[in-house]
Amino acid sequence: MNRNVVFTFFLFCFVTICRGSGTDIALDAKATLLHRIDSLNLLIYTCLLTLTVLTIWVFKHRRVSWLHETGLAVIYGLIVGAIIRYAGSTNHITHINVNPEPGTTYNLSVPPDMLRFHFPASLPITPGDSPIANKTYAYSFRGEIVNVEQNEIDLKATFDPEIFFNIILPPIIFHAGYCLKRKYFFRNLGAILTFAMVGTALSALVIGALMYGCVQLMPASLASSFTFLDTLYFGALISPTDPLTVLAIFSQLKVDVNLYAMIFGESVLNDAVALVLSGAIQNYETRYSHDGGFEISGFLGAIGDFIGIFSLSLLVGALMGCLTALMTKFTHVRDWPLLESALFVLMSYAAFLIAEVCELTGVVAVLFCGICQAHYTYNNLSSDSRNRTKQLFELLNFLAENFIFTYIGVSMFTFPKHHFDPWFIIAGFITSMLGRAVNIYPLSFLLNLGRKPPIPVNFQHMLFFSGLRGAMSFALAIRNTVSEARQAMLTTTSMIVIATVVLQGGAATHALDYLRIPTGQGSNEESEALPYRDDTPRGGGDAGGGQKARLARVWGALDSRLLKPLLTHARPPLTETLPAFMRPVARLLTTTHQYTQGDNTLRRTDSDSDLCIDDPQIPSSIDPQQLWPGLVDTRISVEGITGSNI
Amino acid sequence: MNRNVVFTFFLFCFVTICRGSGTDIALDAKATLLHRIDSLNLLIYTCLLTLTVLTIWVFKHRRVSWLHETGLAVIYGLIVGAIIRYAGSTNHITHINVNPEPGTTYNLSVPPDMLRFHFPASLPITPGDSPIANKTYAYSFRGEIVNVEQNEIDLKATFDPEIFFNIILPPIIFHAGYCLKRKYFFRNLGAILTFAMVGTALSALVIGALMYGCVQLMPASLASSFTFLDTLYFGALISPTDPLTVLAIFSQLKVDVNLYAMIFGESVLNDAVALVLSGAIQNYETRYSHDGGFEISGFLGAIGDFIGIFSLSLLVGALMGCLTALMTKFTHVRDWPLLESALFVLMSYAAFLIAEVCELTGVVAVLFCGICQAHYTYNNLSSDSRNRTKQLFELLNFLAENFIFTYIGVSMFTFPKHHFDPWFIIAGFITSMLGRAVNIYPLSFLLNLGRKPPIPVNFQHMLFFSGLRGAMSFALAIRNTVSEARQAMLTTTSMIVIATVVLQGGAATHALDYLRIPTGQGSNEESEALPYRDDTPRGGGDAGGGQKARLARVWGALDSRLLKPLLTHARPPLTETLPAFMRPVARLLTTTHQYTQGDNTLRRTDSDSDLCIDDPQIPSSIDPQQLWPGLVDTRISVEGITGSNI
């Protein structure tokens, strides 16, 4: 192995260098060595991704459909992970066992964050050939040692799980929000919300309960390490779906747009739901469950957490999106597209970070930020920035997605904190399938009671079949591996992700055939690749139209008459839609561009006018009271410009 | 302070959670806390960058030229750094002092990589309210403790210096290579190479020697900690220039293109030279200098290192660039621009990583990779990918550059390993200015002996004035802060960077006026922003043309008749330019596109045809012997297709 040669060489250099005098020089050399190992790890992943890109090209060129790029990334990752694991590395790290200094007192419940090691410890300094300075070194907490034989490459071919939540997931989720096909998403909103909200919770509960039952039947060593909360946590993390493979095939085969919207919308939202849900379960564990038993107040508290965190995160994301829209509307930053794009990227990432800092869920914030950016900010951007941001996030999404799937493959072999338990793995596979079934079939039945046209049975089967597990499940599982139970969950999750992505993903085309789902409908691929010029004719099984609820209509009116004119350059200007007494404010918030342009010019280029203007149900003028019911009483006391209301 | 409120809240949560039972839960909570702190740090930098972007917009809008975006980023960084430092944080980390277990033997010359801490150590497990598992935890080496009072936020508002070399510098340097204005760069190649290679080495030597003299005059405590190699290292790291501010003003004011090319080209190359030079000095320190004295063999070894590492890094970068060109030429990956862009990005980053792994210098590799990508690969890309890669690297460069300057500001206050020594700082300022003067004036004098037209005196003053220090100096200084001498260097470097960027950068416009350098020449800004459509007429003080050396002419012929046809779709096809006996190979390497297209279509769209086709000196046909002198003898024995040579 070339890698081994490199490592032996490093080791040689390292040993050679260590002979040099002086601790400082040796520390220099050590820093250099660590840098090289970091680079090598990055290089391994870069080469894997390059290989994946080239193979995808070959597959696309030859029209191979039985393996998607993510499946490919996983398989390459597995191969390289196995090589790294079994090729064996010669680079051992030095370690010693330590005890606290006599007389030290410390908190017994948690290990300290940092150890201070006086070096050379308590020994007289040897004169002559070891002129070591009498120094104190800091050592930071790394984690529990599970496998004493692990060496540096094993530790290093893995990354800190934090990078998934800070670096890898945000662009993936943002991209999903930014290119959500909003027309069909809103048409199928009821079904999507039902599957994503109720379905995910139901699935988590069912999987958690079933797994708890299974665990009780297992050998005592494992059973004792799992609490019901642990299995419920497993249920929450294994419930979100990530049907990348399936959707790619849908795009290619131009499958029914409503089915596409349901699967895509559900997978986007259930990632968010599962993340918040797992957080709430963990909060319940730490805050409410003093004796590990069930407490009704604690349960209600956890539900409160769930709702509060979800809606506050949504709010943070939406507000940051709207703030970006306002910034791009009222400044002329669009004259410098580079600055504009930078602003866009920074504000979107800030939404994520603000939510994380405020103990909310960044991924949910960034999702709704993405939706708002697409809905409002996108209309204000210069065409250069539109292209730039679209292409940037497309590329980032592609790289991040393939990286995470490669990593799932590699970490299967190299991550030191795996715990293989065949019973738990088998139980995990079966219950996760049952959980998906409980999500889809009963809820489809209930939805069909009030839905015209209903969701056909073959669509239901396809929804069930699209329940691949992906990046979110893995990231949640690897986030915390402190206990043996958590490690068993990680192993099981990794295996479920790999199996579903490779096998289910590969069989998706056949499933479409087998279920006789119509393909080749409209130019679905085109409109999906360019989500902002969505001018496809309405698809076949139209579920929207006449079914639009009153709430959706009010929202549509509010959006087109208040939010759009406020946040973008869209017509009609606020001066026309706001009640008379707010004219001064309205004038301040309306740009000259909004006054002067024709009514039609913007509508044609508007990114998502498809949300409402096609819809005959929306009244062309709306009663202000419907929008500001709370303002009615105060209107008298405010001095209006025209005064006509007084 | 809002930050303090957040921290107090965290602390409260942390304390609350710690009351919960079980070590695992406490560890969960600790992981969550650390995640929040990471997010907070990223948020601080994101907000600073957003603020910078908005202020830049205001400045551009109002045509403020006395402060450039990088100066602004530094100033915002300083303000926030001071706030973080003096607002004081309440979040203390727990630590205990440890000793090795009795009877442990370990290598005395370096501290171990890892400590293993048995918890609760050597104490009987207390039954009842502290049910702690009897576990062993790993603690990894972090560094020497210099300031015992440092707390978590101080450690955390700083990043691992590795991120500069793995994440921040590569896009900056690649972008510089990718948009180098090659026509003027090659015209002034002699001057640029002289300033960058000879000048930087000279400057490093002069600064090193002067600093060593200064240090000897200082109080003994500091003098004893510096060796001559230390001051030479300081000379090497403070020599590279980064005249971002000046160049931005040049673009704006359309200053003479040759002056622009000299300053930009020099700054791009001297970053690379300084990096390799500092590495060679460090190698000399560790490998050759056994007693700290001067050894002629060691000195020659270090020079060999320098040349070897520089040329091998150049080779790695150029090869990866050419490999990407071949991949994009012979596959149809251009049909999927997303894959193509991903391939481009991955291959370029791989060039960096391969060089780092092979103990070469990644930044040099990525620079020459960028130049090759622009020169060859760019011509093969689909127009979508051209835009995408250009815009992507432009954006990355912008964000990375502003991040590093913000970080320089913040770290001035928060980085725990600063060592303020007023004498060393004053000496650093004076010697770095002298070093720049030694670089420019004597070398300009020598260059002018053989150069027509010569470099005018006001251009020389401007070259001297453009010697701002920037990202590379800072990254080199912060890379290693193990000793007091290195810490003093970091502090001095930070201060020099801040002072030159803010003051010299701010005064650049006035300097242009004062030196009566002509501005408003041609459409310099346009051609710099779009370096690939460089069709400006030749600028005023043309230094190329008749002065082109024989080497440059051979290279031009080799490039246009062998490399371009091999690596791109450019005419003439290899079948016409290669000697007859190589026709089979040539046919294999020529695409049908190359045969069928007209001679003019491609030349017009070729990215950097300006390198040679404008040049009347290049012979329209070239003797194959000039290109393959080594092949002449073997030609007889190879059976040619036409056989005419035999």
**What is the secondary structure of B162-175 as a DSSP string?**
HHIIIIIHHHHHHH
In whole angstroms, give the CA distance from residue B68 to residue B594.
Answer: 46
User: Tokens at residue A413, please?
Assistant: 């072999």
* Residue A108 pLDDT class (50, 70, 90 cuts): low
Tell me the chain B residues in contact with residue A137 when contact means C-beta distances shorter than 8 Å.
111, 141-145
Highest mean pLDDT among A109-113, A203-207, B360-364 belongs to A203-207
Q: How far does the CA of residue B596 sit from the closest CA of chain A (Å)?
A: 23
* A395/B345 CB distance under 8 A: yes
Residues of B within 8 A of A354 (CB-CB) are: 43
Q: Quick check: helix, strand or coil at residue A161? A: coil
| Contact assignment for A23 to B137 by CB distance below 8 Å | no
DSSP state of B634: T
In a 3-state reduction of DSSP, which class is residue B486?
A: helix
Q: How confident is the model at residue A473 (pLDDT cuts 50, 70, 90)?
A: very high
**B 141-160 near A (Cβ less than 8 A):** 141-145, 152
Question: Mean pLDDT score of chain A, rounded to an integer?
Answer: 75
Alpha-carbon span B464 to A403, nearest angstrom: 46
Please check whether residue B582 is in contact with residue B565, taking contact to mean a CB–CB distance below 8 angstroms. Answer: no
CA distance B229 to B204: 11
Q: How many angstroms separate the CA atoms of B397 and B417, rounded?
A: 28
What average pLDDT does range A14-22 have in this prediction?
Answer: 39
Report CA-CA distances (Å) from B490 to A437, B228, B285, B409. 61, 17, 19, 13
A387: chain B residues, CB-CB within 8 Å: 387, 391
CA angle B236, B240, B241 (to 5 degrees): 155
Between A617 and A571, name the one with better pLDDT: A571
Q: Which residues of A touch B119 (CB under 8 A)?
A: 111
Is the CB of residue B165 less than 8 Å away from at least one CB of chain A? yes
- Residues B233 and B278: their CA atoms lie apart, in Å, by 6
Q: Of A56, A99, A482, which is closest to B24 when you measure between CB atoms?
A: A482
Among A57, A101, A143, beta carbon nearest to B331? A57
Report for A237-246, A600-609, B525-534, B535-544: range of highest mean pLDDT: A237-246
d(CA A370, CA A393): 11
The string of DSSP letters for A308-348 reads: HHHHHHHHHHHHHHHHHHHHHHHS-GGGSHHHHHHHHHHHH
Q: Which chain A residues touch B286 with a CB distance below 8 Å?
A: 17, 20, 25, 28-29
Give residue A324's pLDDT: 93
Q: Which residues of B touch A16 (CB under 8 A)?
A: 287
- For residue B111, what is the nearest residue in chain A, using CA coordinates? A119
Q: Cβ of A18 and B109 within 8 Å?
A: yes
pLDDT for A166: 78
pLDDT at A538: 36
Q: How far is B197 from chain A (nearest CA, A)?
A: 25
Element (H, E) at B137: strand B135-144
Q: Which residues of A touch B38 (CB under 8 A)?
A: 162, 166
Nearest CB to B392; choose among A117, A140, A392: A392
CA distance B66 to B82: 24
Low-confidence ranges of chain B (pLDDT < 70): 1-28, 30-31, 88-95, 102-111, 113, 118-135, 142-157, 220-222, 286-294, 521-552, 597-646
For the ranges A547-551, A618-622, B599-603, the lowest mean pLDDT is seen at A618-622
- Which span out of A106-115, A247-256, A476-485, B312-321 was modeled with the highest average pLDDT? B312-321
Neighbours of B420 (CB within 10 A): 11
Contact between B532 and B394 (Cβ < 8 Å): no
Burial of A408 (0-12, 13-18, 19+ CB in 10 A): buried
ipTM: 0.79
Q: If you measure CA to CA, which chain A residue comes closest to B388? A: A391
Nearest by CB to residue B95, choosing from A114, A336, A349, is A114
Structure tokens at B30: 């600790």
Interface of A with B in 14-33 (CB under 8 A): 16-18, 20-21, 23-31
Written as six digits, the tokens of A346 are 């920074």
Interface test with A, best of B162, B346, B352, B398 (most A CBs within 10 A): B346
At B145 the pLDDT is 62
Nearest-angstrom CA–CA distance, B134 and A607: 60
Least confident of A118-122, A500-504, B447-451, B524-528: B524-528
Q: Between β-strands A95-100 and B114-119, what pairing exists: parallel, antiparallel or unpaired?
A: parallel
Answer whether A35 touches B (CB < 8 Å): yes
Nearest residue to B333 via CA among B321, B343, B320, B323:
B343
**Four-point Cα dihedral A348, A353, A359, A363, nearest 10:** 50
Give the nearest chain A residue to B343 (CA atoms). A50
Interface with chain A: mutation pick from B25, B34, B174, highest number of A CBs within 10 Å: B25
Q: Which range, A430-444, A532-546, A624-638, B531-545, is most confident?
A: A430-444
C-beta atoms of B332 and A395 within 8 A: no
Q: Which of B391, B399, B417, B487 to mutate to test the interface with A (most CBs of A within 10 A)?
A: B391
Q: How far is A177 from chain B (nearest CA, A)?
A: 19
Q: Do B395 and A47 touch (CB under 8 A)?
A: no
Using the Cβ of A167 and the Cβ atoms of chain B, whether some distance falls under 8 Å is answered with no
The verdict on a CB contact (< 8 Å) between A93 and B114 is yes
- Cα–Cα distance, B161 to A62 (Å, whole number): 45
Alpha carbon of B297: minimum distance to chain A alpha carbons (Å): 17
Q: How confident is the model at residue A631 (pLDDT cuts 50, 70, 90)?
A: very low
Task: Give alpha helix (H) positions in B136-223.
Answer: 152-156, 162-163, 169-178, 182-187, 189-193, 200-217, 220-223
The amino acid present at B50, given as its one-letter code, is T
Tokens matching residue A238: 């294994």
Instruction: Please name the amino acid found at residue B122.
Output: S
Q: What is the rounded distance in angstroms from the CA atom of residue A582 to the CA atom of residue B543?
A: 66
Q: What are residue A15's phi and psi, to 5 degrees?
A: -65, -45
Q: Which residue has the higher pLDDT, A307 or A8?
A: A307
CB contact under 8 A, A152 and B116: no
Residues of B whose CB is below 8 A from A57? 331-333, 336, 339
Distance CA A21, CA B54 (A): 52
Q: Which residues in chain A (494-533) have CB-CB distances under 8 A to chain B?
A: none
Chain B within 8 Å of A345 (Cβ-Cβ)?
A: yes
Percentages helix, strand, coil for chain B (3-state, rounded to 5) are: 70, 5, 30
What is the distance in angstroms between the Cα of B106 and the nearest Cα belonging to chain A? 7
- As beta bridge partners, residue A115 has A139, B96
Between chain A and chain B, the number of residue pairs with CB atoms below 8 A apart is 369
- CB pair distance less than 8 Å for B137 and A114: no
The answer to whether residue A606 scores a pLDDT higher than 50 is: no
User: Does B531 or A447 have the greater pLDDT score?
Assistant: A447
Cβ within 8 Å of residue A336, ≥6 positions away:
B57, B60
Instruction: Specify the higher pLDDT residue, B396 or A417.
Output: B396
Q: What is the CA radius of gyration of chain B?
A: 28
**Which residues of chain A from 176 to 205 reach within 8 Å of chain B, CB to CB?**
none
* CA–CA gap between residue A417 and residue A147 (Å, rounded): 8
Measured in angstroms, the CA of A577 and the nearest CA of chain B are apart by 31
